[in-house]
Amino acid sequence: MAERWSSNLGFLLASIGAAVGLGNIWRFSAVLGQNGGGAYLVPYLIAAFAFAVPLLVFEFAVGRALRTDVVSAFRGVGVNYTALGWVVAGSVLVILSYYLVLTGWVLGFLVATLLGVDLSFAGFTGTWWPVAAFVVTTVATGGIVSLGVKEGIERLVKVVLPVVFVVIAGLAVYAATLPGFADALAFLFTPDLSVLADPGVWSAAVGQVFFSLSVGQGIMLTYAAYMDENTDLWRSAVVITVADVAIAITAGLVIFPVVFTLGLAPTAGTELAFTTLPRAFASMPGGRAVGVAFFGLLFFAALTSAVSLLEVGVAAATRSFEWSRAKATLALTTGVFLLGVPSALSYGPSGFALGDVPFLDVLDESVGTLALPVTAFLIAVVFTWVAPNDTAERELGRAYPVVKYALPVLLPVLVALKVAGVARP
């Protein structure tokens, strides 16, 4: 009997777990900080509801109609398309390789904060500890996925997600008591509509929304293959998007008050979560408990996303090679681990780098940032133009042209902007 979620709620929680991750907390605040705060929220929200929601519904419809993984879905179009399916699944696995390294950093900071060890970013990444932490995150992710969709992934999200919601709300309440809260509100919610003319901001917003919602990479397609026949696709897509956006903005409401209270720079980018915040927590009253809550939340949010990335590959490998779930998980986690080792070692004194750019950033900037619109383009074009999916067309209704016409035009423009260096992160 094919795998299924035990209920609609199980599917919704798993998809929210896939969406809510490091992207909402670490990447969102980094991108927002670098793109002018509140100015960026308008294109971000437009991108979420105008483009990401229709593509989510589309992936759901295709996944449920075909009831298969992303590679088999492409293979079904024609044997020649199998390779494109692997491009999609492969890019997800490459993302997973450094995503698990980042999750390992979070784990490192969580343990250090728990033990009261004063850990600096350079002091941590310059050692072998990131590799040890990476082993733990890889084994945990593989262990959960090997248990299956219902017994592994669904059980994890049912325990973890309610905790994530409560903890982030609690942290926001705490942040509201900080002196920098008013400045943070002004920074986050004062829109500057003039930036809407800047294509760089649009490109950053669309890229961030797709990353954050896990859309356009076959992740939601894979999860939809296990969903019930009666699930309301539009309602699910809107609930997932609202939850994802709400968590991102709440994370901003936690991070920026801390940043402004201590007079730090909101533009620190990637360093924000790993350098600025640990230092900030260390200097605040009750900061240790807040730090544990923050990194604990981040760790579990990342784990529920990592399992979704791995499931894309495992679902594909079980069907393509007729492997058991256990064998597919073991083979893929081993591969992902080997691929991730250079990333795990890339921030040390003699770290793996291409020129000046650490290997982890090379992967994030190529596959994580650039491949994302490419895979979204492949999914949108192949299942509308090459092998139109009737169910998807029916489910999308008036929004179908967004996927069939708007995205195939918009996504290549996005890639071009990025390649031309117009786009910011």
Residue 88 neighbours by CB under 8 Å, 6+ apart: 70, 71, 74, 217, 218, 375, 378, 379
Task: With contacts defined by CB under 6 A, name the span among 6-14, 16-24, 35-43, 345-353 that binds ligand PFF.
Answer: 16-24
Query: For the purposes of burial, counting CB atoms within 10 Å of the CB of 385, is it exposed (0-12), middle (13-18) or buried (19 or more)?
Result: exposed
Task: Give yes or no for residue 368 binding ligand PFF (CB under 6 A).
Answer: yes
**In terms of CB distance, is 124 or 211 closer to ligand PFF?**
211
Residue-wise burial string across 271-307, b where 16 or more C-beta atoms lie within 10 A, e elsewhere: ebbbbbbbbbbeebeebeebbbbbbbbbbbbbbbbbb
Q: Which of residues 305-324 bind ligand PFF (CB under 6 A)?
A: 305
Q: Give least dist CB 29 to ligand PFF, A.
A: 12
Residue 127 neighbours by CB under 8 Å, 6+ apart: 348
Task: Give yes or no for residue 35 binding ligand PFF (CB under 6 A).
Answer: no
Q: Please spell the DSSP secondary structure of 307-332, one letter per residue.
A: HHHHHHHHHHHHHHH---HHHHHHHH
Q: Which of residues 221-250 bind ligand PFF (CB under 6 A)?
A: none
Q: Tell me how far apart the alpha carbons of residues 80 and 104 are, in angstroms, rounded to a whole number.
A: 38
* SS3 (DSSP) at 358: strand
Secondary structure of 63-85 in the HEC alphabet? HHHHCCCHHHHHHHHCHHHHHHH
Q: Are 335 and 51 in contact (CB under 8 A)?
A: no
Task: With contacts defined by CB under 6 A, name the span among 165-173, 210-218, 255-263, 325-333 that binds ligand PFF.
Answer: 210-218
Q: Give least dist CB 98 to ligand PFF, A.
A: 10
Task: Give yes or no for residue 160 binding ligand PFF (CB under 6 A).
Answer: no
**In terms of CB distance, is 198 or 311 closer to ligand PFF?**
311
Q: Give least dist CB 85 to ligand PFF, A.
A: 17
**In terms of CB distance, is 269 or 368 closer to ligand PFF?**
368
| DSSP state letter for 115 | H
Q: Tell me how far apart the alpha carbons of residues 180 and 175 are, in angstroms, rounded to a whole number.
A: 8
**In terms of CB distance, is 10 or 368 closer to ligand PFF?**
368
Q: Tell me how far apart the alpha carbons of residues 274 and 102 are, in angstroms, rounded to a whole number.
A: 10
Q: Give least dist CB 117 to ligand PFF, A.
A: 26
Q: Are 90 and 269 in contact (CB under 8 A)?
A: no
**In terms of CB distance, is 180 or 313 closer to ligand PFF?**
313
Size of the site for ligand PFF (CB under 6 A): 13
Indicate which single residue of 125, 212, 236, 329 sits in contact with ligand PFF (rule: CB under 6 A).
212
Q: Which of residues 271-290 bind ligand PFF (CB under 6 A)?
A: none
Residue 132 neighbours by CB under 8 Å, 6+ apart: 104
Indicate which single residue of 5, 10, 16, 23 sits in contact with ligand PFF (rule: CB under 6 A).
23
Which residue's CB atom is positioned nearest to ligand PFF? 23
Task: Give yes or no for residue 214 binding ligand PFF (CB under 6 A).
Answer: yes
Task: With contacts defined by CB under 6 A, name the span among 20-28, 104-112, 251-259, 386-394 that binds ligand PFF.
Answer: 20-28
Indicate which single residue of 129, 211, 294, 337 sits in contact with ligand PFF (rule: CB under 6 A).
211
Task: Give yes or no for residue 340 binding ligand PFF (CB under 6 A).
Answer: no
| DSSP state letter for 194 | G
Task: Give yes or no for residue 15 binding ligand PFF (CB under 6 A).
Answer: no
Q: Tell me how far apart the alpha carbons of residues 378 and 84 are, in angstroms, rounded to a whole number.
A: 8
**In terms of CB distance, is 264 or 272 closer to ligand PFF?**
272
Task: Give yes or no for residue 95 binding ligand PFF (CB under 6 A).
Answer: yes
Indicate which single residue of 144, 157, 372, 402 sits in contact with ligand PFF (rule: CB under 6 A).
372
Residues near ligand PFF (CB under 6 A) are 19, 21-24, 95, 211-212, 214, 217, 305, 368, 372
